[in-house]
Amino acid sequence: MKLRDLQRRAVDAVLEGTVALAYGKPGWLVRRRRFGDGPPGDMRGKVAIVTGATRGIGLAAAKGLARCGATVVLGCRDKMGRGEAARAEVQRAVSRAEVEVLELDVSSLDSVRQFARQVAVGFPAVHALVHNAGVLEKARRLSVDGVELTFATNVLGGFALTRALRRQLEAGRGRIVNVTSGGMYARRLEVGDPMWERRAFDGVKAYAETKRAQVVLSEQWGEHLAATGITSNAMHPGWVDTPGVAEALPRFRRVMKPLLRDGEGGADTIVWLAASDEVRGVTGQLFFDREPRRTHVLPWTRATADERQALWELCERLARYGAPWET
């Protein structure tokens, strides 16, 4: 191993030992020096879908993918309002960017199905699918399908969309990128009461549990799709100053704002996973700042094989997939 690589790993280990520095702006400023200034890969002629793309990390990811040359499909709840505004912002940031806007509410299975059908008509191959849409709710609410809204948005919608777009992902040897959160490190996989029916609802804990579930599903998709050429990886963006953080965690943002990353710093690994030749064929891993990371720091957060299988079966049952989901 070269001396430079040893030095890099030593610095990275020091940063990882200090969460605020690693997850915040200081960690990003140190690590980005080795990434270079240009796009991490060439996606000209390729299609990248980003959910939750109207602001924050999703919008930054859309800009980054457009800089790589991809045709970027923005999945947005408010197509005519925020969706078109996001398209305009991407095109201002990246001249001649090709951007499509399609309506998508990932908490609604009907909306997911309609979105997948529109994608299938317009794009026979999908090369990157970024599951970025997410919510952190203050009170327990149900989706239109009767599923707890945090789980419906952060877990079930992405599961259903991946299944619905499988044919297009196979055609493009697509890369699935699941945007999780460092908060998942403090929670274990919850399959006993994932909808918070028997527990007093805690929005932050519910969010962290769904982010843990995302990582598990990302690994499972990597296993299920191994023979298809599709890869599935998760990433966490660190601590990023986004509108979502300002709304859901105002006190945290007020205290930590000087240390928070910007959207570009949060989205960088998303774009790298979608575009870079460095991760061609890599699947089932968790990344942060372009490095593979461990999925557990606390032993008690590890799930059993039965619990992991229970999550998969729950998502299958809730998504009600089968013939109606074929596109």
Catalytic residue numbers? 207
8-state DSSP, 303: P
| DSSP, residue by residue, 38-106 | S-SS--TT-EEEEES-SSHHHHHHHHHHHHTTPEEEEEESSIIIIIHHHHHHHHHHSTT--EEEEE--T
- Asked if 197 and 142 count as a contact pair (C-beta separation under 8 A), the reply is no
Q: How far apart are CA 131 and CA 180, in angstroms?
A: 9
- Asked if 272 and 48 count as a contact pair (C-beta separation under 8 A), the reply is no
Q: How far apart are CA 312 and CA 220, in angstroms?
A: 8
Burial 2-32 (b: 16+ CB within 10 A, else e): eeeeeebeeebeebbeeeebbbbbebbebbb
